[in-house]
């Protein structure tokens, strides 16, 4: 029987629901995908990009506390997050629309 996504430390019911919408139905599937591919799927299925959510996922899949990410490691994760966000959440948008979405002026597509 598959293990629920929410069984992974720091990942609760809301994250599990987002995973279900993205077709990720178990902790095993999430671990097999890895954080970048899983987060890309979340973005593709309508989850709003949020850096803290991304690095919580990375830390969770490493079995670490969510707030264990600091310094150079956090900066490197920010670069990965920005690349995922640019590739997935801003497709088909002008830079102006993407900026408006970033500050919450328009609804995400």
pLDDT digits (tens, 9 = 90+) for 61-96: 999 999 999 999 999 999 999 999 988 755 555 666
- What is the reported pTM? 0.79
Residue pair 41/84 in contact (Cβ under 8 Å)? The answer is: no
Query: Which domains, ranges and CATH numbers included, belong to the chain?
Result: 5-102 (1.10.150.20)
Does residue 29 carry a pLDDT above 70? yes
Alpha helix (H) residue ranges in 22-70: 27-44, 51-61
The predicted structure's pLDDT at residue 92: 58
Which DSSP symbol is given to 68? G
pLDDT at 87: 83
32 close to 2: Cβ distance less than 8 angstroms: no
- Kindly state the average pLDDT of the residues 34-58: 94
What ranges in 1-109 are assigned the alpha helix state H?
A: 13-21, 27-44, 51-61, 71-88, 95-102
């Amino acid at each position: 029987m598959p293990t629920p996504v929410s069984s992974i430390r720091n990942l609760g019911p809301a994250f599990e629901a987002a995973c279900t919408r993205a077709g990720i139905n178990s902790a095993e599937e999430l671990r097999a995908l890895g954080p970048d591919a899983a987060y890309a799927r979340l973005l593709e299925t309508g989850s709003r990009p949020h850096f803290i959510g991304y690095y919580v996922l990375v830390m969770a899949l490493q079995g670490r506390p969510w707030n264990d990410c600091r310094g150079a490691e956090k900066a490197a994760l920010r670069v990965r997050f920005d690349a995922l966000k640019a590739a997935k959440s801003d497709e088909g948008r002008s830079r102006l629309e993407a900026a408006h979405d970033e500050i919450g002026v328009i609804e995400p597509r």
